[in-house]
Every structure is written in C-alpha cells, then in structure tokens.
Amino acid sequence: MANPSLLILPGDGIGPEVMAEVRRAIDWFGAKRGLVFDVSEDLVGGCAYDAHGTPLTDETMAKAQEVDAVLLGAVGGPKYDKLDFSVKPERGLLRLRKEMDLFSNLRPAQCFDALADFSSLKREVVAGLDIMIIRELTSGVYFGEPRGIHKEGNERVGINTQRYTESEIARVARSAFELARKRSNKVCSMEKANVMESGILWRDVVQEVHDAEYPDVELSHMYADAGAMQLTRWPKQFDVIVTDNLFGDLLSDLAAMLTGSLGMLPSASLGLPMANGRPKALYEPVHGSAPDIAGQGKANPIACILSFAMALRYSFDEGANADLLEGAVQTVLADGVRTADLMGPDGGTPVSTTEMGDAILAALDAAA
Ligand code: NAD
Ligand code: IPM
Ligand code: MN
C-alpha cells in the first residue's frame, strides 16, 4: 500500500520555523516507528503572494484536495497589511478551509500540569483542564453574503452577513456530539439567541439533533458572552463547547491563555470522509505568524507539533503514536524546558525553537 501523503504549507513569519521542528518529528516517526509519509511542501499566504501574486495557487489548492492531510504553519504579517483584501495572506487559508469544506474545527485547550502556574489565572482554576472547542469553520459571518464596503450618500458602509443554514448547524452539532461520546458525554452550545435570529436557529437545531440522535449526551446552551465569562471563571465546568465561526475564533484564543501560551494550542479542521474513509483534514496551530518574534528562533513549536499529533490521531488512526508524541511534549515541559513564551515571573533561561525540537526528539527516543 502507498504511504499516506502529507502536504506541508509552512506559510509566513514563524510558520516555517515551527514547521521545521514538525518535519524532524515526522522523520523520527519514519525512522523509528516505520510510519513513513510521502511529504510534499508548497506555499501559502504572503510567501505565495510574493512568488505567484496570489496567496494560494489553483495548483496548491488541487494538491490539498488530493493528499491525506495538510499541515499548515501560519500566514500573514505586516508586510502584507496594505494588500488588496482579495489577495491578503489570510484569504489563502480561508480558501483552503472553504473549498475543502472543513466545517468542524477542533481546538483543544489542555493545561499541562507543568504549566499550571504560567496561566494568567490561578493554578486551581486551570490545573487539569482539558476542554475541546468545536468551531464551525466554513460559514457564518466569515463567508455570508452580502459583504463588502460601499458608499451610502457621503459615507462608507462596511457589511458582513451572519448566515447559517439548518444543515450547516446540524453537521457541526453532530461532530460535537460524536466527540463528546468519546470524552465526558457533555456538550455546551454557545450562540446569542437573545439578539440574533441565526442564534435562535442555532439553538433550535442543536437541540433537535440532540433529541433525535444523541439523547444520551448532556446538552446545555449558553449565550456566548456569558460563555466567555464562565470560561475565565471556572473553565473546568466545560468539556465540549460547540459554537459558530466568529465566536469560536474569539473563545479559542481566550481558551489558549488558560493553558499558559498561544504557542501551545493545536487544531484540527475536519471535513467529510474521502473515498479512502479518512476525513478531509487540515492541521494547524491556533496561533498566527507572530511577526514580533519571527526570524529570531524564539517561537514555541509545540502548538504545531501537537497539531501533527492530532493528524496522527484523526487522519491516520495512529492513536498510540499520537500518545507517544504528546507524552514527549509533557516530558520536556515537566523537565522545565521552556521557550520564551513559557517563562514565568521567576525567570529562567529560555531555549530556542530548535532546542525545544531537540528536547522533544530526545524524549521520543527515551520513550520509544
Ligand atoms: P499571533 O498569534 O501571530 O501573535 C499573538 C502573540 O502571541 C504575539 O505576541 C506572538 O509573539 C505570540 N505567539 C504566537 N504564537 C507563538 C508561538 N508559537 N511561540 C511564542 N509566541 C507566540 O497573532 P496576531 O499578532 O494577532 O497576528 C499576526 C498575523 O498572523 C496576522 O497577519 C494574522 O492575520 C495572522 N494570523 C494567522 C493565523 C493562521 O495562520 N492560522 C492565525 C492567527 C493570526
Ligand atoms: C485563526 C485565525 C484565522 C481566523 C485568520 C488568520 C483567517 O485567526 O485561525 O484563528 O480568523 O479564522
Ligand atoms: Mn483566530
């Protein structure tokens, strides 16, 4: 049988720096565990615009549709801020998500014990935290029509439209209930049904899918603003949270800080099953291109490495190898290995991106 295929899109800023460490982990699994991938690499974001005048070429888009999984670093940066909206780096990422139909974005927020004192919240609030935010990723205000900026009389008007169909809500709700059954069997759905019609529909459809297909799962509903408050007050009350595209974007950055650093959070964006049974999938860290630290060897590669672990689990059914990689990350953190973003108030000497990669490979060697 052919090796599973991976398309790597390092992107901009710290993207290539963190992805270099992922490639070493991929090579390690090939050499030491016989898990060999056919890896190809291509451009997305600002670097693709520099080379081709577009943040994602049709050729790269077609490749992404063909491979078993895509790994992406990050896109964007100040160099591209003035570009026309249609060719901004972020449009490349949004096109991938939309055309691959990656409607279910899994964003876990897990507080590793060794980092419980690094969160901006108290240790007892975050220690042992393990929640999963499922963000709808291909619809809502990110893609709704009409949109744009136009003139009305003497002034400009900016328009975006929040729009959800019943089937879009139902399919992401199903993915939340399915995942909940493998975890603590508990889902909290967040919207603003008090002020938005799309929120009313969201709440109704999630409830209907629950009652018809998942009555065994505990379901609650919360307004998203109250949800943000509850996530900082007592996050451990949650297990799976399901929410729309925009609220999910905000709530997952918020959840990142519960774990100590945005440099820790991986994500999986999943679509429908392909002919080989694997879901269409793209894996990427939640963080961006971090222009403030790009090119300095300071970036934390863990979010990107844990995104590869999610690929092992969700695309390749390699749960034991995913556990091994996640365990290696846990070991280096417990050993006190820290990139600069994980420095606590008591200081210490941070390691570089590559040194963090070295430590994770050494922990893999020790564990295998
Ligand atoms: P950002 O996530 O890039 O950075 C926010 C802060 O977190 C910065 O101080 C940064 O140094 C820090 N940080 C992020 N990742 C880190 C890591 N791995 N290690 C250590 N520190 C890390 O968000 P931003 O500054 O709002 O956005 C910068 C650019 O990235 C923008 O162009 C934005 O559109 C883009 N962006 C891209 C993605 C993506 O590609 N998926 C996600 C978010 C933002
Ligand atoms: C994310 C990012 C993206 C989003 C941008 C870069 C398009 O913030 O993945 O969280 O808003 O979805
Ligand atoms: Mn975001």
- The mean of the pLDDT values for the chain is 96
**pLDDT of res. 75:** 98
What is the longest distance spanned by two Cα atoms in the chain?
A: 69
* Residue 97 confidence (pLDDT): 98
What's the confidence (pLDDT) of residue 260?
81
Contact 244, 257 (CB under 8 A): no
Whether 346 has a pLDDT exceeding 70, the answer reads: no
pTM across the whole model? 0.96
User: Among this protein's residues, is 365 annotated catalytic?
Assistant: no
Among the ranges given (157-161, 248-252, 260-264), the one the predictor scored with the smallest mean pLDDT? 260-264
Residue 89 alpha carbon, nearest atom of ligand 2? 6
Q: What confidence tens digit (pLDDT) does each residue in 268-324 have?
A: 999 998 989 999 999 999 999 999 999 999 999 999 999 999 999 999 999 999 999
Higher pLDDT, 228 or 261: 228
Residue ranges per structural domain of the chain? 1-114+262-368, 130-258
Catalytic residue among 49, 142, 283, 314: 142
Q: Which of 232, 162, 150 is nearest to 200 (CA)?
A: 162
Catalytic one of 50, 225, 317, 335: 225
Percent of the chain at pLDDT above 70?
99
Band of the pLDDT at 341, cuts 50, 70, 90? very high
Residues 126-178: tens digit of each pLDDT = 999 999 999 999 999 999 999 999 999 999 999 999 999 999 999 999 999 99
Instruction: Give 117's pLDDT tier (boundaries 50, 70, 90).
Output: confident
Backbone dihedral region for residue 148 (phi beyond 0: left; psi -120 to 50: alpha; all else: beta): left
* % of the chain with per-residue pLDDT over 90: 91
Report CA Rg, the chain: 20
How far from each other are the two terminal CA atoms of the chain, in whole angstroms? 25
State whether CATH 3.10.450.50 applies to domain 130-258.
no
**249 noted as active-site residue:** yes
* Residue with CA nearest ligand 2 atom 4: 249
Q: Which ligand is nearest to the CA of 142?
A: 2
Residue nearest to atom 44 of ligand 1 (CA): 288
> Who lines ligand 1 at CB under 6 A?
14, 18, 74-77, 90, 93, 262-263, 284, 287-293, 299-300, 303, 341
Q: Residues 6 or more apart from 186 whose CB is under 8 A from it? A: 180, 217, 218, 220, 238, 239, 240
Which phi and psi (to 5°) does residue 259 adopt? -90, -5
CB atoms within 10 A of CB 210: 20
Q: Looking at domain 1-114+262-368, which of 3.40.718.10, 3.10.300.10, 3.40.50.300, 3.30.70.1290 is its CATH number?
A: 3.40.718.10
Specify the pLDDT at position 67.
97
| Site of tokens 């009652």 | 211
Q: What average pLDDT score do residues 183-188 get?
A: 97
Q: Verify whether ligand 2 is closer than 6 Å to residue 244 (CB atom).
A: no
Query: Which residues on adjacent β-strands are paired with residue 135?
Result: 105, 243
ipTM: 0.97
| Region for residue 185 given its phi and psi (left: phi exceeds 0; alpha: psi -120 to 50; beta: otherwise) | left
Q: Which ligand is nearest to the CA of 140?
A: 2
The Cα 259–Cα 118 span in angstroms is 8
Q: pLDDT at residue 6 above 80?
A: yes
Nearest ligand, CA of residue 288? 1
Residue 345's pLDDT band, with cuts at 50, 70 and 90, is low
Distance 109 CA to ligand 3 centre (A): 14
Q: pLDDT tens digits for 23-47?
A: 999 999 999 999 999 999 999 999 9
The whole-number average pLDDT for the span 224-234 is 97
